[in-house]
Chain A
């Protein structure tokens, strides 16, 4: 009896042990470890600095927009009457709003390379700067509708910097009042001098403030990974084509013939340099990792990034000196920038593959 009991318990225990151990018998080998990880804290520090600047500018823009809205409201949204009765305050409010926009936009471009290239933050790029309107491109449209203070809803109106730019500079009829105004008092109504639709301006500014604040919080929580860094480089560098296309179709090339409502104030070439600058910061953080695999290629990628930025800077400098590039020249330059960018992205992707780092979709 005792023997039977002992045998029974022993068998039971052995069976259970065998069952528990069995999966380990065919356990798969652990994935290879990556070489020493890069210190990416510099990327986050840079991003947070810029994000803080951006939220500051957004709040200034919101403040100025609120002032303009209050003025318009007090005039019963009769914009002609508003301008006639209170030109000084209207001019001041709009001047402040435009200044704030012109401060915010380049700051965002200086962080766009990181934001747009990081999968967990990329949605903000669509909202703030890259997203199309639902009318233009349903697939790449912004994910939000804009609800105006008067209750109207603008479905998927386009990215917020674009909405605000076209409102403030009057390049899109639906967002303006049609009332021209000599805002700078120089005696002539120049390009961009018109009264914005106060509801659109306020709603856009409020939304910009909201999303830049959210982006700031998301950036604080974000822990950059090597995958984020390499993805940003591979994704953002080749967007030269998009940016050069915007530049080719902008007022800076086509003048008044341009139908583009965005990128009318700051040349896209300046934006491109800012984006590349942020990507240079990203690359500098991962360069030690790249060097551990291929020193020569690490140096070459760094040089190519610098050369590309200088290439764009040269074109911009020429533009700023008064040179008007022809559309074909712009096309050639755009193709060259795209080729250089593709080569950089390609090399970064090869290094990422050698380092076993995933480039996210």
Chain B
């Protein structure tokens, strides 16, 4: 049986997902306008800028950094044969172009994938349009990627 369908693996995935969703709610990052108020750096001048998102990221980073150090001491993850380190290292055109596209969509909506999916718990109007479009975009992106690179990167 593959590791990825064993109980320990699935319970860990579920617990991680639940903590992630709770964190997105507690940090209020599920609110698109809170995110937009962070991205609106013009608000620094008039006092309407909301730096909360930077603190969310900083806090998450510190905890994850410690988690990675703990992982470094293990030969392998608890419920899997190996650590799946991202295998891409090159700063290439797809990375930069992808970040530009994502930045446009994020700036238009204030929604990135984590909050977008977590919003299913609250079902604001038009959410399913956003998620369907994201899914379609991801599907299209895999073909664009194949056209840009000799081998598809699906890490």
- Chain A complexes with chain B: no
Query: Hey, which bits of chain A sit against chain B, CB under 8 A?
Result: none
